[in-house]
């Protein structure tokens, strides 16, 4: 029984501070959607509203055909995985996992059987009789995952579940979470501030800022075609160059940046270009050449990245970060030309 | 390698132990003295003063009253104190800061003033019977211990555990009983013991609240001493000490004393 989660026009306040501003999002049945943003953007608030730990000022939360908005937390039937694991310290691993089944009135042999089967799946059945204090961080998070999954909830929610684990374990665990979530086909909402984590685990990612969702898309689209300057900066476009169109000739647009730098951009390659736009380029999206057409620059500090050299360049349009090939190292203070590569750049509307 | 101890420090330590233990030795000695007045060292040895306690109806009656008041008062203070401590910790951010100070007031106010205030408010003001006044008075007197000690163990309690339980389908009250309470058990027991001992030993509040026919053991000891300066007083004290030692022994055997000092 996979169902969808629908959040409509959610508004929430802490005291007089508005923390969510008309937030709507829909998670399809079986889909994993991440809420990604820096701290204070409202992602955890959203999760806590769905869990029922907070009450919204207005708006509706629906899970399938059930309206959760006014339901108490214990009646919502949502599996939750917490950042700090939140295991019951006084219960054994087995009793932790069986806790939700006990609340559902299952007889002891039944819940022991199901909890053991779940522990088997996360590879922890030999530790069933331990207390949480005797487990490592990764084991604790596996127990927490088993505890949330064993009740077979129609919705799973994760609140920064991997933040307290070390880097290697974090990668293993996110693969494991993804596999379990896929295998069960459980609709999931995942909160994180880690972009790599969100992109690697999710079907779609919602990038949040100041209580709003700025863009909700697949990781591929977000990474390549951000819709706004904020999202572009968030997904690692180092250079945002404000430009104005000065001339249009068929598909070729001539645009000017601050300082008079002119570029000829093809709408066939870059897509439609409005009169006023932002050219967003990753450091990899600007070819550093000794000469040719592009933005004239004076090279600054060169750093070795392993796959390329990175230069801090001074241009008439401001400081620009660009990567040049390893085959042709250039010296500081050398003159060069930076050429935008269409497949690694995108055109943004400054209004967004 | 033995650690060298400075002679002055050693002498000081011995003095401290002497002053801590000497009164106890004197009381035990006096309780065994075969004289009709309190004296130390004891002259002759006898247990008749212990027997005397059990023959005196007033001591038996007030001992029972003291136990009842201590048990009911402690129970009542925990019944108020645990939820109060819970709320103060759970909603620390939302609640005004003076609220937690409010619960310590009975300790801050001089006990004699507190006792008099209780007499004016509960016994005279509300006209409650003596026994009920005693229970309520003691409950208020020891409420700070309940709130503070239970609060201390709640301070290290992770409230997201409570949310985990609720997300798994456990209603709020049941969550409190099955998840919160077991994890603050040590604090509750410590609070119980501290409150119980405070109540059993209290004089200044009880002296105002006891009335015709109903008294507590410490008040009875005072009353007795005003009339007879005999070793009965010492032997009652020895019995009280034994009860305290007994309670501590049980605590040590079941939980370990360290949790009281944590």
pLDDT, tens only, B204-262: 889 898 888 888 988 988 888 888 888 888 888 888 888 878 877 877 777 665 655 54
For residue A92, list chain B residues with Cβ-Cβ distance below 8 A.
none
Tell me, what's the ipTM? 0.84
Q: Which of A190, A206, A232 is the last residue of a domain?
A: A232
- If chain A, 352 residues long, is cut into consecutive pieces of 10 residues, what is the mean pLDDT of each piece? 90 91 94 94 94 94 94 94 94 96 95 95 92 93 94 94 89 91 93 94 95 94 92 92 91 88 88 91 91 89 91 91 89 88 90 79
Per-residue b or e along B196-227, where b marks 16 or more CB atoms closer than 10 Å to that residue's CB:
bbbbbebeebbbbbbeeebbbbbbbbeebeee
Look at B168 and A89 and tell me if their CB atoms are within 8 Å. Answer: no
B181 CB within 8 Å of a chain A CB: no
In a shared domain, residues A227 and A122: yes
What total of structural domains would you count in chain A? 2
For residue B95, list chain A residues with Cβ-Cβ distance below 8 A.
none
> Percent of chain B scored above 90 by pLDDT?
35
Look at A84 and B179 and tell me if their CB atoms are within 8 Å. Answer: no
Of B161, B171, B172, the CB nearest to A86: B161
d(CA A150, CA A147): 6
Mean pLDDT value across chain B: 87
Quote the minimal CA–CA distance from B167 to chain A in Å: 5
pLDDT of B148 strictly over 60: yes
Considering only the C-alpha atoms of chain A, give the largest distance between any 2 of them, rounded to a whole number of Å.
Answer: 78
Instruction: Write down the pLDDT at residue A192.
Output: 95
In a shared domain, residues A57 and A142: yes
Question: Average pLDDT, stretch B29-37?
Answer: 85
Running DSSP on this structure, what letter comes out for residue A128? T
In a shared domain, residues A211 and A336: no
Instruction: Write down the pLDDT at residue B27.
Output: 87
Q: How far is CA A68 from the centre of its chain?
A: 25
Quote the minimal CA–CA distance from A94 to chain B in Å: 15
Please give the residue of chain B at the shortest CA–CA distance from A53: B163
Half-sphere exposure of B78 (CA within 13 A, CB side): 20
CATH of the domain at A329: 2.40.50.140
Domain encompassing residue A244: 236-348
In a shared domain, residues A38 and A176: yes
Instruction: Write down the pLDDT at residue A29.
Output: 95
Q: Angle CA(B211)–CA(B212)–CA(B213) in degrees, nearest 5?
A: 110
Look at B163 and A90 and tell me if their CB atoms are within 8 Å. Answer: no
B167 CB within 8 Å of a chain A CB: yes
Quote the minimal CA–CA distance from A81 to chain B in Å: 8
CB B168 within 8 A of CB B249: no
In a shared domain, residues A190 and A283: no
Of A75, A86, A147, the CB nearest to B163: A86
Instruction: Write down the pLDDT at residue B261.
Output: 52
Quote the minimal CA–CA distance from A315 to chain B in Å: 50
> Percent of chain B scored above 70 by pLDDT?
96
Please give the residue of chain B at the shortest CA–CA distance from A96: B165
Helix (H, G, I), strand (E, B) or coil at A283: helix
Question: At B11, is the pLDDT very low, low, confident or very high (cuts 50, 70, 90)?
Answer: very high
In a shared domain, residues A316 and A199: no
Of A51, A53, A103, the CB nearest to B169: A103
In a shared domain, residues A218 and A266: no
C-alpha distances out from residue A185 to A66, A157, A161, A179, A212, Å: 19, 13, 19, 10, 28
Q: Give me the residues paired with residue A27 across strands.
A: A5
Interface test with A, best of B94, B164, B181, B185 (most A CBs within 10 A): B164
> For domain B57-261, which CATH number applies: 1.10.10.60, 1.20.1250.20, 1.10.10.10, 1.10.3720.10?
1.10.3720.10
Quote the minimal CA–CA distance from B183 to chain A in Å: 7
Pairing of strands A155-159, A78-81: parallel
Q: Which of A232, A262, A285 is the last residue of a domain?
A: A232
In a shared domain, residues A198 and A260: no
Question: At B85, is the pLDDT very low, low, confident or very high (cuts 50, 70, 90)?
Answer: very high
Of A74, A77, A86, the CB nearest to B171: A74
CB B145 within 8 A of CB B194: yes
In a shared domain, residues A169 and A267: no
Domain ranges of chain B: 7-46, 57-261
Q: How many other β-carbons are positioned within 10 Å of the β-carbon of residue A316?
A: 12
Q: Which of A232, A263, A282 is the last residue of a domain?
A: A232
Q: What is the DSSP string of B33-55?
A: BSSSS--SS-SSB-SHHHHHHHH
Nearest to B207 by CA among B124, B106, B101, B134: B134
In a shared domain, residues A219 and A241: no
In a shared domain, residues A104 and A157: yes
Look at A86 and B168 and tell me if their CB atoms are within 8 Å. Answer: no
Residues of chain B by 3-state class (helix, strand, coil), percent to 5: 75, 0, 25
CATH of the domain at A223: 3.40.50.300
Nearest to A342 by CA among A271, A255, A247, A243: A271
In a shared domain, residues A156 and A80: yes
Nearest to A158 by CA among A171, A167, A146, A145: A145
For residue A74, list chain B residues with Cβ-Cβ distance below 8 A.
166-172, 175
C-alpha distances out from residue A136 to A96, A142, A164, B244, Å: 16, 10, 11, 42
Instruction: Write down the pLDDT at residue B247.
Output: 78
């Amino acid at each position: 029984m996979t169902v969808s989660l629908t959040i409509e026009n959610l508004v929430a306040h802490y005291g007089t501070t508005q923390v969510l501003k008309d937030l709507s999002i829909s998670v399809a049945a079986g889909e994993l959607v991440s809420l990604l943003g820096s701290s204070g953007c409202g992602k955890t608030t959203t999760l806590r509203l769905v869990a029922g730990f907070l009450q919204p000022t207005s708006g509706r939360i629906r899970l399938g055909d059930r309206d959760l908005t006014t339901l108490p937390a214990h009646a919502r039937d949502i599996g939750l995985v917490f950042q700090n694991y939140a295991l019951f310290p006084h219960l054994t691993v087995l009793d932790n996992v069986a806790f939700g089944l006990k609340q559902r009135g299952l007889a002891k042999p039944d819940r022991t059987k199901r909890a053991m089967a779940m522990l088997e799946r996360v590879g922890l059945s030999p530790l069933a009789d331990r207390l949480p204090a005797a487990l490592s961080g990764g084991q604790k998070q596996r127990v927490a995952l088993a505890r949330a999954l064993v009740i077979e909830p129609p919705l799973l929610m994760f609140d920064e579940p991997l933040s307290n684990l070390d880097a290697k374990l974090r990668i293993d665990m996110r693969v494991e979470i993804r596999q379990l979530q896929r295998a069960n086909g459980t609709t999931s909402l995942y909160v994180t501030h880690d972009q790599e984590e969100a992109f690697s685990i999710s079907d779609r990612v919602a990038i949040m800022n100041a209580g709003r969702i700025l863009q909700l898309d697949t990781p591929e689209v977000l990474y390549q075609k951000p819709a706004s300057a904020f999202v572009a900066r968030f997904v690692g476009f180092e250079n945002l160059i404000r430009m104005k169109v000065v001339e249009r000739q068929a598909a070729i647009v001539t645009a000017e940046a601050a300082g008079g730098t002119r570029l000829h951009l093809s709408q066939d390659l870059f897509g439609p270009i409005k009169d006023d736009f932002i050219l967003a380029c990753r450091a990899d999206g600007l070819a550093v050449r000794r000469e040719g057409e592009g933005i004239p620059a004076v090279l600054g500090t060169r750093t070795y990245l392993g796959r390329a050299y990175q230069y801090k360049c001074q241009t008439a349009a401001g400081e620009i970060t660009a990567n040049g090939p390893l085959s042709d190292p250039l010296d500081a203070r050398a003159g060069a030309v930076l050429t935008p590569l269409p497949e690694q750049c995108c055109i943004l509307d400054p209004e967004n | 390698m033995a650690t060298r101890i400075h002679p002055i420090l050693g002498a000081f330590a011995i003095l401290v132990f002497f002053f801590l233990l000497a009164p106890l030795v004197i009381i035990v000695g006096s309780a065994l003295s075969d004289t009709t007045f309190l004296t130390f060292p004891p002259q002759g040895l006898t247990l008749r003063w212990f027997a005397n306690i059990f023959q005196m109806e007033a001591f038996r009656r007030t001992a029972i009253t003291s136990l009842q008041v201590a048990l009911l008062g402690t129970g009542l203070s925990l019944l108020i104190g645990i939820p109060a401590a819970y709320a103060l910790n759970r909603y620390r951010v939302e609640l005004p800061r003076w609220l937690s100070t409010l619960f310590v007031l009975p300790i801050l106010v001089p006990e004699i003033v507190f006792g008099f205030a209780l007499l004016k408010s509960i016994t005279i003001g509300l006209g409650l019977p003596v026994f009920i006044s005693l229970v309520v008075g003691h409950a208020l007197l020891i409420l700070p211990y309940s709130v503070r000690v239970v609060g201390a163990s709640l301070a290290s309690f992770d409230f997201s555990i409570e949310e985990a339980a609720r997300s798994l389908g456990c209603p709020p009250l049941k969550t409190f009983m099955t998840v919160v309470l077991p994890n603050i058990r040590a604090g509750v027991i410590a609070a119980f013991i501290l409150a119980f001992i405070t109540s059993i030993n209290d004089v200044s509040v009880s002296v105002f609240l006891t009335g015709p026919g109903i008294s507590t053991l410490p008040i009875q000891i005072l009353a007795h001493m005003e009339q007879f300066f005999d070793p009965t007083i010492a032997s009652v004290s020895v019995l009280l000490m034994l009860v305290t030692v007994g309670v501590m022994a049980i605590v040590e055997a079941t939980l370990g004393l360290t949790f009281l000092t944590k």
